[in-house]
Amino acid sequence: MDEFQSEIHEECGVFGVYSQENRKVAYTCYYGLYALQHRGQESAGIAVSYADKITYYKGMGLVPDVFSHGNLDKLPEGDIAIGHVRYSTTGASQLLNAQPVVFTGKCGKMALAHNGNLTNTRQLRDEMIKNNAVFQTTIDSEVMAVMINSLSDGDILEGVKKACPKFKGSYALVIMTTDKLIAVRDPHGIRPLCIGTDVDDYIVASETCALDAVGANYLRDVKPGEIVVIDSTGVHSYMMENLPKKSSMCIFEYVYFARHDSVLDGCSVYEARKEAGKLLARYYPVEADLVSGVPDSANVAARGYAEESGIPFVEALAKNRYVGRTFIQPDQRQRENSLNVKMNALRANIYGKRVIIIDDSIVRGTTMRKIVKMLRDAGAAEVHIRICSPIIKHPCHLGIDIQTYSQLIGAYKDEDQICESLGADSVRYLSIEQLVETCKSAKVDFCLGCFNGKYPYPLDGYEADKLKLE
């Protein structure tokens, strides 16, 4: 893998606040990032704009750890702040790549935080280097910031308008100058972004759960291809040109990434997950004594399955609440070990029982294989797996960490082979149509690339690893 490929797989959370009254914008940002912690646990950062300055603090680790020991209090009071939580699983897990990206250019002081992934970082970067640009990091977000600045001629909005058509890939951006907060969502709307208000303040966040956390009311979602500028004159909206006919919001946000108390593009994540469980019960029933979810993300679906089937919801697994998301472990061995620490079977609940275990997705199969063994070791008579999404057959290059064909258990196996490989009694997945049905209240169309291989941008760079698919 080259430096770019090792950098591109990440999922993040962004937050921004424009304040007329409340000077403690760093605190608002802190609480907003805390609510978005599930989107990134590797690094966190906040930049604050006050007078003509921008001050920032970034660090490796969780939000409360980065901003402990008075680090939050060291940030000044101000009018605008943006923040970022980052999660990348491969390569340069280092402070240099933490966000927001902060620098001084034609637009004066500027900070940018990005959720998503560009697929043409290398080309853009090479082009700019030829024109004497210099870069400190390998992240696409710095490329975006530098390009916006260089095309701005001192007017940040012009810079954003001219730069966006050059970006290919997914981007939900919050950008701050010393007098403006700007929110941008890529033309396909791949990553979520919403706006809220709190008295005189405006908030921009990846998910509505962050608006709730800071007491803001949801105003609306940023539209695919929209640039929202918030300044002392109010909120201004500009649409990019030549927008695609259909949006391509990442459906995996509903399946796994987003918090279940968020509402993305008009669709409640909770409702979508519950419906997924119900559909699994309706279309893929099995006789069993109990149904359980892999905690936490699949519990809602398991309750949906229980409601629809009449089979009781019983907890089969206890989760250690102090262990973060499994994927965060950099290699497979550590990932497998961390599962033992993360979960344990509740023997008394499952001994001698036929268990239905629900999870949101299977990527490599590591989690499920381990869980099946755990349940059998604890005396489960049968283990039936039901998955709230279709088989993941393709990697994702737009911001979800599903990296290569060879890592995906579903890239070269069908349901029965997966069942055998996991050691289960049965495995059934939702179909693509059924998954889309769970999100029917969303006001957007979806990217289903990891399931059907059709992406809004070509899957460049994965060919070398590509196995022959059916």
Residues with a catalytic annotation lie at 12
Residue (155 or 296) nearer to ligand AMP, CB: 296
Candidates 184, 205, 400, 447: give the one binding ligand AMP (CB under 6 A).
400
- H-type helices in 284-378, by residue range? 299-309, 332-342, 347-350, 366-377
Give the residue among 314, 384, 300 at the shortest CA–CA distance from 348: 314
Give the integer Cα–Cα distance in Å for 102 and 56.
8
CB atoms within 10 A of CB 282: 12
250-269 mask for ligand AMP (x: CB under 6 A)?
Answer: ------x-------------
In the sheet with 201-205, reading across from the earlier edge strand, the strands are: 53-60, 43-50, 80-88, 10-18, 201-205, 194-198, 217-221
- Helix then strand then coil, in percent of the chain rounded to 5, is 30, 25, 40
Angle between helices 140-150 and 156-163 (to 10 degrees): 120
Residue (105 or 365) nearer to ligand AMP, CB: 365
Strand, coil or helix: what is 461?
A: coil
Q: Is 366 an interacting residue with respect to ligand AMP (CB under 6 A)?
A: yes
Give the residue among 195, 190, 47, 17 at the shortest CA–CA distance from 113: 47
Residue 223 CB, nearest approach to ligand AMP (Å): 25
**Site residue total, ligand AMP (CB under 6 A):** 19
Q: Is 10 an interacting residue with respect to ligand AMP (CB under 6 A)?
A: no
Q: Is 451 an interacting residue with respect to ligand AMP (CB under 6 A)?
A: no
Residue 89 CB, nearest approach to ligand AMP (Å): 8
The answer to whether 96 and 8 have CB atoms below 8 angstroms apart is: no
Give the angle subtended at the CA of 439 by the CAs of 286 and 291, to the nearest 5°: 25
Q: Is 385 an interacting residue with respect to ligand AMP (CB under 6 A)?
A: no
Candidates 326, 404, 421, 431: give the one binding ligand AMP (CB under 6 A).
326
Give the residue among 398, 425, 399, 420 at the shortest CA–CA distance from 409: 420
Which range of residues in 142-150, 181-189, 320-328, 410-418 is near ligand AMP by CB under 6 A? Answer: 320-328
Candidates 188, 260, 342, 364: give the one binding ligand AMP (CB under 6 A).
364
Q: Is 294 an interacting residue with respect to ligand AMP (CB under 6 A)?
A: yes
Strand, coil or helix: what is 226?
A: strand
Residue 366 CB, nearest approach to ligand AMP (Å): 4
- 103 to 51, 53, 148: CA distances (angstroms): 16, 11, 12
Q: Is 394 an interacting residue with respect to ligand AMP (CB under 6 A)?
A: no
Residue 400 CB, nearest approach to ligand AMP (Å): 4
Long-range contacts of 134-138 (CB under 8 A, 24+ apart): 136/96, 137/96, 137/97, 137/101, 138/3, 138/4, 138/7, 138/92, 138/97
Which range of residues in 22-30, 50-58, 275-283, 364-372 is near ligand AMP by CB under 6 A? Answer: 364-372
Give the residue among 151, 176, 155 at the shortest CA–CA distance from 164: 151
Q: Is 421 an interacting residue with respect to ligand AMP (CB under 6 A)?
A: no
Q: What is the DSSP letter of 126?
A: H
Q: Is 358 an interacting residue with respect to ligand AMP (CB under 6 A)?
A: no
Candidates 361, 403, 434, 438: give the one binding ligand AMP (CB under 6 A).
361
Token output for 26: 């760093």
Q: Is 186 an interacting residue with respect to ligand AMP (CB under 6 A)?
A: no
Tell me how many helices (H) and strands (E) the chain has.
15, 23
Residue 95 CB, nearest approach to ligand AMP (Å): 22
Residue (325 or 466) nearer to ligand AMP, CB: 325
Residue 20 CB, nearest approach to ligand AMP (Å): 38
Candidates 8, 363, 380, 385: give the one binding ligand AMP (CB under 6 A).
363
Give the residue among 355, 391, 392, 360 at the shortest CA–CA distance from 374: 355
Residue (327 or 455) nearer to ligand AMP, CB: 327
Which range of residues in 41-49, 142-150, 306-314, 354-362 is near ligand AMP by CB under 6 A? Answer: 354-362
| Residues whose CB falls within 8 Å of the CB of residue 396, separated by 6 or more in sequence, listed in order | 250, 252, 402, 449, 450
Residue 461 CB, nearest approach to ligand AMP (Å): 18
Residue 327 CB, nearest approach to ligand AMP (Å): 3
Q: Is 402 an interacting residue with respect to ligand AMP (CB under 6 A)?
A: yes
Which range of residues in 197-205, 268-276, 362-370, 439-447 is near ligand AMP by CB under 6 A? Answer: 362-370
Q: Is 373 an interacting residue with respect to ligand AMP (CB under 6 A)?
A: no
Residue 106 CB, nearest approach to ligand AMP (Å): 37
Using CB under 6 A, list all residues that contact ligand AMP.
Answer: 256, 294, 297, 325-327, 359-368, 400-402
